[in-house]
Structure 1
């Protein structure tokens, strides 16, 4: 259904009004000499005591190099310090210093003051009308949108039942989409059977995309040696493809490898996985090996892809 011209015009007028209003509400940011991106990093750091650079990149959808410059600026200004993990010396948590917390508290106070000034002249009834209208806009527009990767959160730990469900997803989806037989599901079971006893959160990481309390995507990084890691179990449920979720999971996985100072990460796939291979190549993986096999009821090429890692932080 196309939009009503009068509705479109009303929305455009409201957008211009609200954009100007947001500018007024962000005066305190301009006065602080911080950019909106820098304030976003500051607020996220203020919400967590166990935040890494890789996690910030995923949460804020920010380029790693740009984030690196912000972190260095914060360190130079004495707003942030790095804390080495007790479990893994290659992992560093980013935390606000007392000065950083004071800066954030000041921004919060100014922001609250500006909002108070904005609505202070309104009656209680009018204030409720404003917030009610805001909630209505948000709820109606969110309900009208298809599920997207912004509605999905990434969980980094395994819970009982996760592995069983991942095995099911791999077996079912690969049978439907690639014609793999039961041997493939047996193979997936074997890989998890080998992984779980050796699972070390200090070196390995699961990334599970969760929507409505259900796993809709996955990828994992497994340590092969001190300097080499393997990417495994990359999967996106068909209902959540085409929304950037695969790119998001791959980026988080690669960022984790950099945090752990792995020098290279590799993966094994088959020539039939064309969509996944396209994502791997865009992420920076390059094919380094290939062999022809009769595997899982199919004739295919097993392929290896590698990525050499560089560090900006």
Structure 2
């Protein structure tokens, strides 16, 4: 049995958050739009494009409600419909230029509110809030989907340096790329040395690393290096998932947090380097707004390959 005092504390805190975040108002986030419309714009921005059916699942709203809201946002010039590349009968919803400007203002306002609140807390409390809110939110989502949270999300995402992570991330890269692409010690050593150097700069606010843990073991990673490219551009590095969490949705969760971080930092663009053939990863990158900037034959990975550079413009 869960302690009644805990239940009451969470309910009281939830009501307070709803009021303080503005959900009692008819509009949200310093816009003229309803909370559901604001969430629609933010989710489409995060995913690059969504169908109305996908919005129904994400927002947990009735199909008719989503249809009316989408129609209003299209009429207001925030959204546009485009045929799906896979099926011309399916319409995808994307932000217009006006919509991207609206989302930028929403994100700026939302980040400001978070910063103002977190400045009242010490670093340990800030981490506790971030982890606690994430865990509770995923538990609520699991209830809506009819699953147990332990089944829906047996993983946790943590940030910052954790002992052993340099070796573990290097091991994951070395093992996976040796098995599938015949990479050798050159590649694994490059990962380890680059990551070790990056860790000396993790105290700077423009740099961050995210780790996926499963029962305390690191099974995924991704990092944003806000310094090595210059020109206020971010470098997405060391994105990998172990076999333990492939197909779990953790890749999307990781990139969602990474893109939110990049938007808060107001980077002019985010760049990543990869090579041809990683089709699943490419589809994931493209769903977050990355586009192929250029490709060429190169050997930076230790052998000749068709290398690729992807870019996402700042929001």
TM-score, normalised with respect to structure 2: 0.54
Assess if the C-alpha contact under 8 Å between 1:208 and 1:218 holds in 2: yes
Mapping 1:56-67, distance limit 5 Å: none
SS in 2 for 1:83: helix
User: Residue deviations 1:88-119, cap 9 Å, x none?
Assistant: xxxxx9xxxxxxxxxxxxxxxxxxxxxxxxxx
Please state if 1:217 is matched with 2:217: no
Which of 113, 116, 127 pairs up with 1:83? 116
Assess if the C-alpha contact under 8 Å between 2:212 and 2:219 holds in 1: yes
User: Residue deviations 1:50-95, cap 9 Å, x none?
Assistant: xxxxxxx99xx88x9889769969x9xxxx6742988xxxxxx9xx
Q: Distance in 1 between matches of 2:264 and 2:164?
A: 28
Assess if the C-alpha contact under 8 Å between 2:107 and 2:264 holds in 1: no
RMSD, aligned α-carbons: 4.4
Structure 2 equivalent of residue 189 of structure 1: 192
Runs of 4+ in structure 1 off by over 2 angstroms are 36-39, 64-73, 80-86, 196-201, 293-299
Structure 1 equivalent of residue 168 of structure 2: 165
Bigger CA radius of gyration: 1
Structure 2 equivalent of residue 129 of structure 1: none
Q: Distance in 2 between matches of 1:67 and 1:229?
A: 18
Using the TM superposition, give the Cα deviation of residue 299 of structure 1 relative to its aligned residue in structure 2, in angstroms.
Answer: 3.6
Assess if the C-alpha contact under 8 Å between 1:38 and 1:70 holds in 2: no
Mapping 1:222-301, distance limit 5 Å: 222-224=225-227, 225=230, 227-294=232-299, 296=301, 298-301=303-306
Using the TM superposition, give the Cα deviation of residue 191 of structure 1 relative to its aligned residue in structure 2, in angstroms.
Answer: 1.2
Structure 1 equivalent of residue 74 of structure 2: none
User: Residue deviations 1:211-258, cap 9 Å, x none?
Assistant: 110111110000133621100000011221112111111111111011
Give the number of aligned pairs: 207
SS in 1 for 2:162: coil
Using the TM superposition, give the Cα deviation of residue 201 of structure 1 relative to its aligned residue in structure 2, in angstroms.
Answer: 3.6
User: Residue deviations 1:142-181, cap 9 Å, x none?
Assistant: 49x7x54x22221111122111111111111111122212
Q: Distance in 2 between matches of 1:278 and 1:259?
A: 24
Q: Distance in 2 between matches of 1:185 and 1:215?
A: 17
SS in 2 for 1:188: helix
Q: Distance in 1 between matches of 2:174 and 2:107?
A: 43
Residues 1:70 and 1:200: Cα distance change in structure 2 (over 3 Å): closer
Residues 1:282 and 1:155: Cα distance change in structure 2 (over 3 Å): same
Assess if the C-alpha contact under 8 Å between 2:289 and 2:312 holds in 1: yes
Using the TM superposition, give the Cα deviation of residue 188 of structure 1 relative to its aligned residue in structure 2, in angstroms.
Answer: 0.8
TM-score, normalised with respect to structure 1: 0.54
Structure 1 equivalent of residue 28 of structure 2: none
Mapping 1:61-210, distance limit 5 Å: 82-83=115-116, 142=148, 148=152, 150-210=153-213
Q: Distance in 1 between matches of 2:278 and 2:109?
A: 40
Out of 294-303 and 250-259, give the one that drifted further.
294-303
Residues 1:178 and 1:85: Cα distance change in structure 2 (over 3 Å): same
Using the TM superposition, give the Cα deviation of residue 296 of structure 1 relative to its aligned residue in structure 2, in angstroms.
Answer: 4.6
Residues 1:172 and 1:84: Cα distance change in structure 2 (over 3 Å): same
